Structure 1
Amino acid sequence: MFNALSGELSYKDETRVFLQTGGVEWEIHTTRISANALPEPGRAARLYVHLYVREDQLRLYGFATAAERAAFLDLLKVEGVGPKQAQKILSGIEVHQLAEALETENLDRLSSIPGIGPKTAQKILLKLRGKLSLGPAPGESLEEDLAGALAGMGFDRKAVRGAVATVMRGLRDSALPREELERELFKRALALLGGQEAGL
C-alpha cells in the first residue's frame, strides 16, 4: 500500500484537499492542523495517507506529517472512535500536545478537545496512554518520519524504534540526497523488521 502522495495542490480547506498527481486529482480528507501546514494551492505538496475501507465507504485521509497519521491510526483503535471523529480530534490538538495529555493523564485537557466528551476521553486515555511518542517538536526529523511510516504499516513501535536506530547508525554519514537516503533507510529497516517477524 502507498505511504504518501506527492503532487500539486489544487484546492484546500480545513477538512479536505485536492492533490493532482500522475494525471489524477485525489480528494483527500485531512485535519485543520495539516491543512494549515500545507502550502497554498498551485504549489507542490506531500501527504502521508491512509485509505479507510469499509463495505459502504472508501475514503482517503492525508496528513502533513507521519506522526499525525500514526496518531490518527491509533485513535481508530479506540472503541467508538471512527475516522471522522479522529479527524476532528486531530484538528483540535497537535500530536505532541495529545501525547503529553495522555502521558500526564490530563482528562480535562482531553475532554476540552472538540469531538471528545468525558467518556471518550477516558477511553482514549485507557487505550493509548504510553503508546503515543512525544518525539521531537514539529519540523520532524528523518528518524521520526521513517518511524511513523513503519508504525503506520502495523509494526510494533518498540521494534520500529530499534530498527530505525540500527539503520540510522549505518547510514548517518551518508552523502546521499535526502530522498535517496530515505528510500534506502526505509528499505533496510523494512528488511530488518521483516526478518524479526519471520524469526518469531
Structure 2
Amino acid sequence: MFNSISGIFTGRTAESIYIETHGIEWEVFVPALSADRFGAAGSTVRVYTWLYHREDQMKLFGFLTPADRSLFLDLIKVEGIGPKQALKILSGLDSKALEAALEAGDVAQLQSIPGIGKKTAQKMVLALKGQLTGLHDTGRPEPAKKSEFDDIITALIDMGYDRKRAAETVESIAQSMRTSGIDPTAKEEEIFRTSIVTLSST
C-alpha cells in the first residue's frame, strides 16, 4: 500500500493538491490548514498518504507528516466520523491543538471546529482520550531510546495497532531471534509479518 508520494507540486484547489510523478498527476485531498504548507508550484514535495477505496469511489488523502496521518486514522475510528468529516476536523483545528484538546477532554475547544456539535465532541473525547497513536507534544512521553525497528513499529501503528503493544511485540520477536542466534535486522519482513499475526491474535 502507498506510504507516501514524492513528486513535483503542480497546483492546489480549496481541498486538494496536485503532485506529478513520472508523468502521472495525482489529486490528493489534504486538510485546508496544511494545503499552503506543501510548498510552491514546481517544488519537490513529499506527502504521506492514505487510500480510501470503495466500490463507487477512490480517493487519496494526504498529510504533511506521519503523525498527522495517524491523527486522521484515529478520528475515523470514532463512530459517525468518516474520512471526509475527519479531513474537515483537521481543516478546522491545527493538529497539535486538536491532540491537546482530545487529551485534555476539552469539549468546548472541539466544538469550535465548524460542523462539530457537543455530542460529536463528547464521542471524540470518549473514544480517543489517552488513545492517540501519533501525538506531537501533548504530554505523552516518547520512548527515551528509539528502537532499531522504528519503521516496523510505525507501520503497525499506521495499521491501527496500539503503539506500546506494537513496540513490545516487535522487540519480543527480535529478542527471540537473537536468542536463537539470528540477526533480527536481517529479518525485518519476517518480524513485520509475525508481529501482525501476534497482535491480531491477542
Length-normalised TM-score, structure 2: 0.75
Q: 2:194, 2:96 → 1: CA distance?
A: 31
Contact preservation (8 Å) 2:78, 2:127? yes
Structure 1 residues 90 and 122: alpha-carbon distance in aligned structure 2, compared to 1, 3 A threshold: same
Q: Which residue of 1 aligns with 2:6?
A: 6
Contact preservation (8 Å) 1:7, 1:19? yes
Q: Which residue of 2 aligns with 1:152?
A: 158
Deviations 1:25-76 (A, max 9, x none): 0011101232122111110001111111122221111111111111111111
Q: 1:99, 1:64 → 2: CA distance?
A: 16
Q: 2:68, 2:154 → 1: CA distance?
A: 8
Q: 1:133, 1:154 → 2: CA distance?
A: 8
Give the secondary structure class of the aligned counterpart of 1:99: helix
Q: Which residue of 2 aligns with 1:47?
A: 47
Matched AA of 2:160: G
Q: 1:77, 1:136 → 2: CA distance?
A: 19
Structure 1 residues 134 and 57: alpha-carbon distance in aligned structure 2, compared to 1, 3 A threshold: closer
Contact preservation (8 Å) 2:29, 2:61? yes
Q: Which residue of 2 aligns with 1:33?
A: 33
Length-normalised TM-score, structure 1: 0.76
Contact preservation (8 Å) 1:163, 1:193? no
Contact preservation (8 Å) 1:150, 1:160? yes
Contact preservation (8 Å) 2:78, 2:124? yes
| Superposed CA RMSD | 2.7
Give the secondary structure class of the aligned counterpart of 1:78: coil
Structure 1 residues 198 and 86: alpha-carbon distance in aligned structure 2, compared to 1, 3 A threshold: closer
Matched AA of 2:54: R
Q: Which has the larger radius of gyration?
A: 2
Structure 1 residues 157 and 59: alpha-carbon distance in aligned structure 2, compared to 1, 3 A threshold: same
Asked whether 1:196 is paired with 2:200, we answer no
* Structure 2 gap segments, 5+ residues each: 138-145, 173-184
Give the secondary structure class of the aligned counterpart of 2:131: coil
Q: Where in structure 2 are the equivalents of 1:1-200 lying within 5 Å?
A: 1-133=1-133, 135-137=135-137, 146=151, 148-162=154-168, 188=188, 191-199=190-198, 200=201
Q: 1:58, 1:154 → 2: CA distance?
A: 21
Matched AA of 1:86: A
